[in-house]
A and B are shown apart, each in its own frame.
Chain A
Amino acid sequence: MLSISNLSVTVADKPILKGLTLDVPAGEVHAIMGPNGAGKSTLGYALAGRPGYEVTGGEASWRGEDLLGLEPAERAAEGLYLSFQYPVEIPGVPALTFVRAAINAQRKARGEAEMTATEFLKAARAAASALKMDFDMLKRPLNVGFSGGEKKRMEVLQMALLQPSMLILDETDSGLDIDALKVVADGVNALRSPDRSMLVITHYQRLLDYIKPDRVHVLAGGRIVASGGPELALELEAEGYDKFLPEAA
């Protein structure tokens, strides 16, 4: 279970998250919805340990392990995966080289044997094919010159290969047309399992038609202000976020 309790985070001395509390049990998919500027991306970055996102209070743990005291790479080895809203271009490092290095770094951190080149290539070919990606694209520097849709597929391909246990998807639908969205959602859904949790961050309800959440939470003003079943997302789509905005805003 992902357990977040009273989490407060500042960015450049500005409070963004102000006592956020949330539990995501194993095997469940929870959606975080909210207006722009509510702190949705900040939650993802803070859980992943991005420098500059300073935790000023509260706790966060995954499977009982305190996340906040770990380095970003250690959190990854514990199974945490953040799918970036804007995946970063890594010039000069071929995607295949990068993903294999990441897998083996995680395995090493967990005391497991490295994946051989043959095993890796087989897995990478299968994952690329499932996501309808041209395998040759994986020989190019990671994300360099990729379209928005290709970058998102690349994020899902890495998930499929790294097999994380806790996924945070930050606006994974942004920049995708409907066909690409289906492919990406199928890729994410294929990873659903009883021992894997997901936190789906999205501004729009559209993604939740394809990745169906067990629970929906509304993040506004740095806190979870409402929680409910999937019907809450539909309600937000119809009525907007106005009633959840802090009055001061």
Chain B
Amino acid sequence: MMQTASTIPVAAPDRPPWVLPHRGIVGMTCLIIAESAIFIIFVIAYIYYIGKSLSGPTPAQVLELPILGTVCLLSSSFTIHFAVSSLRKANFRGCTLGVTGTVLLGAIFLMTTAREWYHLIHDFGLTIRTNLFGTTFYSLVGLHATHVAVGLTMLTIALALLLSGRLRQTHADRLEVLSLYWHFVDGVWVVVFLVVYVLER
């Protein structure tokens, strides 16, 4: 007698329950690995070209430590973590607070970057065409800022859903997937900060 593949008799009843990882988290991990590879290449290019510019200005002349932006971005990791754990406990007030805080802190970071770039372009005339420092600096920091902007967009959508009452406790896993991305963007900033602002200066 033929049987379907699904009804093969089970011999041992003591098999452990079949649990698989959450696909959002696995998918986001894959994306983070791929994105890390992209960032590594940009960081390598940056390090490789340190001190190889044929003309000024040099980083030591123009760069300042972006303390405010760094503090804001790094602390936003805590606020998004707080938002996720609040949503898990169905604490929507806490979640709204956490996501709003994250959006604000991320926005402050982007504004500090914008101010820095304005300063560099306007006061020092440093653009992407000026020298190798300009080329690698703007592309690496710009790539990171693009990622912050993408994360901010998604967080803003999450905030809109939260405020309109569409984000429920069951969506905590999804918010966590988003928070993984945000933590990654934060982690990249630590590397960028060390390489661009500490190492080269």
A and B pair up? no
